[in-house]
Structures are given as structure tokens and as C-alpha cells.
Amino acid sequence: MGFLKWLGLGRPRDAPPVQDNVRDSSGTFLFGTANSGERVDEKSALQISTVYACVRLLAETIASLPLHLYCYIDDGKEKATDHPLYKLLYRQSNPEMTSFVFRETMMTHLLLWGNAYAQIIRDGRNNILGLYPLLPENVEVDRNENGELYYIYHAYTDDVPGERDKDIYFRRDEIFHIPGLGFNGLVGFSPIAMMKNSLGTTLAVEKYGASFFKNGAQPSGVLEHPGVLKDPAKIRENWSAVYGGANNAHRVAVLEEGLQYKPISLPPEDSQFLSTREFGVEEICRMFRVPPHLVQSLKHATFSNIEHQAIDFVQHSITPWAVRFEQAIIKDLLLETEQDSYFPKFNLDGLLRGDYQSRMNGYATGFSNGFLSPNDIRRLENMDPIPDEMGGNFYMVNGSYVQLKDAGIYAKNGQSNTEERNS
């Protein structure tokens, strides 16, 4: 209990008891053999091409987005480049990893295990010096007797320098934790574990296809002999050696002594082999909420809807992950005194850009209505700004626009002036 007392300074005697509902949300018990007979875990699932493509797409997209730390000012916000956390989020999370690699690793953990953990290295002034990802399969979350969370990392490898085959205990403020979808909001469950039956079916279909081509892409069958064979096993082995395997497909078989070959299996098209594989792609895309065309499944994609599918991907797939990441940064990496002054933000504008003509029409509307200046537009197009003396930061508006209540006043005043001149 010495460590537990070290974690917490004590609780009031009249405080309500804290229920330990952390372990119930892990979902690790769901790993194992699927109904198809295939064992499914995060590593075997990643061997499915569609799972690999979806995880890589989401992880690389989040990692490639610009991530800046901002601070509030009187008239809006500005980048907090002087804050120690700015460089870690935008450029380099630790001496061994760029920000891209760090976020890519964290998103991969989050997509496969449902949780992403990183060790926080601080200096004596509580400034963060580095963030190091931890393997989520080795992390255990629990509560101490005071109801405070702590983390146990089972260091079975050298991923933590100087620590091997040890249980390392971390306080709450030493871990950066991004939980995925879970039952209690504290620990996420693994999407792979929850979808093990669907993924197990895909693994079984791929194993069947590999076995099909291994056996010469020919249905299995029966060798019939009119008499009694002294060594049937030897005949079967000789047959497999000569005609088995994809390299021996379509070879002409020579049968002696009345031996006959009769196929007994259904061809793959009759057992809907290809249809099952296509359905597996759609099922996995549905699981990760990824449009099929982004993993090179273009069966239902057309030129008229593919742009809208891409925008829908940003709005309903990328944005929730980005918000989850941003709020975890506020919760774990910013001090309580900083959380009202600083905030991180992913820039999604580049992903939401339409085609060239649509962008130009939108810019023209923004400029003519006075909420975009020439330099605002040029920054969105990654172009150098126009100097102030040339009107780069001017905001224009069409002078013919008037308020509804003032409609007709100009015409009335103009008629009065004309009458005065005529008189």
C-alpha cells in the first residue's frame, strides 16, 4: 500500500466511496477465437489489406494535418509559439520522433486498441520536454484507495530506456491518454475485439483463397481405383507432389491401371468466394467509417459523388478524431491555469477545399461581401501576401447594398434635389 499512499494525499472521511469502474471498459476479454475459427487480435487484423489501408489512411491523415497551439487575445487568437508545448505538437514530440510520426503512432494505437498512451517528460518547472508513446497492450489503468487514477506499464521490452521486465507505475499527470469509444468514458474498448467475428470471417476467406491457389487452383477431389491399393497414402503424396501448387496448375494428368479423378468441391464462384471478399471490404470500411473509394474500392464511386464523399469523410470521420485528440491535449498537457488561455487546433481547411472553380467562386463571394480581403484569399491558396500600400488587407463591399428599411431613400432624395434645381 506504500505506493498507493504515495499516489494520493488522502480523502476526507465523509467523502462518498469511489467505484472502480475502470477495468470494466477495457474490452480485452473480447480478444480470441471468432466464430469462424480464426484467432483475431490487433496484429492478425492488420494483416487484412483493408484494415491496414483504413488504419494507415486515418493515421496518416491526422498526422499530416497542421496542429498548432493558440492563445486567446483581445481581438481573436494567435499562435503561441513561445509556449514549450508548441514545438512538441507542431514539429518534434521528442528527440527521436517528429510530430508526424508521434501522431501517426498514437492514432494507430487508438484505432487498433481503442486507447493511446504516451509518457510525459517534464522539467522541474513542470514544462513538458517530450512525449513518448507506450504500447497500449502493456498498459493497465486502475484506481488507488483515494479514488485517483494511476497507470501500470508492463515493460517487457526495452521500449522504456533502462527498464525491462518491470512494472512501472505512473501518476495521472505523467501520462497522456486518448481514450476511444468505451463504456465509461475512462478507458476505450478495442474496435478489433468488438468486431472479431466480422474480421474472423474475412481472415477465413483469405485463408481459403490462399489454400485454393496453393492446391493448384483446382477443386479437391477423389482418386478412385477399381482394385485394392496396397499404399494409398503414397499415391496421394505423389499426386500432390506432381499436380499440387499454383505452379503445377493445368498440367496434364496421366492415370494408370484404371485410376479415375473425380472432383467433389464447389468452384469458388459457386460458393460466392469473390462476393464474400467484396462484402468484407465494405464491412471493414463501415467499421472504420472510411469511404470505400479511399481504400481503392471504386465499385460504387462516380465522378459526380466522389468529391462529396471526400468532404463527408472529413466531416464525419476525421473531425471526431481531431476533436478527441485536441481535448485530450487540453486535459493532459495543459496546466489548469493555462486551459482558459491556450487551446490546440487542427487545420482542416486543406481537406475541405473543393475544385478550383468552386474555390474561386467562393472567394469572389467572400471578397464582394466584405469578409475576405485579397491577402485572406492568398493565404488560403498558399500565396505570398500583397503589400498594404497595394490594398492587400482592404475589405471591400458592393456600394449598392443598403438596408431594407433604407430602400427608396436615395431615390426620394434624388427627386427632391432635382425639383429644387428646376425651381
Tens place of pLDDT per residue across the chain (423 aa): 444 344 443 444 454 454 545 554 444 445 556 666 677 788 888 888 889 999 999 999 999 999 999 999 887 899 999 999 999 999 999 999 999 999 999 999 999 999 999 999 999 888 999 999 999 999 999 998 888 999 999 887 655 555 667 889 999 999 999 999 988 888 998 888 888 877 877 777 777 666 666 655 455 666 666 666 666 677 667 666 766 655 555 566 666 666 776 665 555 554 555 555 666 788 888 899 998 888 877 766 666 667 777 888 888 999 999 999 999 999 999 999 999 999 999 988 877 766 677 788 888 888 888 889 889 888 888 788 898 888 888 888 877 666 666 666 655 665 555 555 555
Whole-number Å distance between alpha carbons of 368 and 353: 20
Q: Is the pTM of this model over 0.85?
A: no
Intra-chain end-to-end CA distance of the chain, in Å: 103
Whole-number Å distance between alpha carbons of 204 and 329: 40
**Cβ pair 91, 99 in contact under 8 A:** yes
Reading phi first (left if > 0) and then psi (alpha if -120 to 50, else beta), residue 170 is in beta
Whole-number Å distance between alpha carbons of 9 and 419: 88
> What is the Cα 230 distance to its own chain's centre?
61
Q: Determine the pLDDT at residue 12.
A: 46
What angle separates helix 319-333 from helix 99-113, to the nearest 10 degrees?
110
**Cβ pair 70, 343 in contact under 8 A:** yes
* Tens digits of residue pLDDT in 226-270: 666 666 677 667 666 766 655 555 566 666 666 776 665 555 554
* Tens digits of residue pLDDT in 276-332: 566 678 888 889 999 888 887 776 666 666 777 788 888 899 999 999 999 999 999
Backbone angles phi, psi at 344, to 5 degrees: -90, 155
Whole-number Å distance between alpha carbons of 406 and 165: 79
Q: Name the E strands within 100-183.
A: 115-122, 128-134, 139-143, 149-155, 166-171, 175-179
Q: Determine the pLDDT at residue 15.
A: 47
Q: Determine the pLDDT at residue 304.
A: 64
Whole-number Å distance between alpha carbons of 306 and 293: 8
Angle at alpha carbon of residue 122, lines to 116 and 127, rounded to 5°: 110
Q: Determine the pLDDT at residue 329.
A: 97
Whole-number Å distance between alpha carbons of 203 and 33: 11
- Which three cell numbers mark 152? 501500470
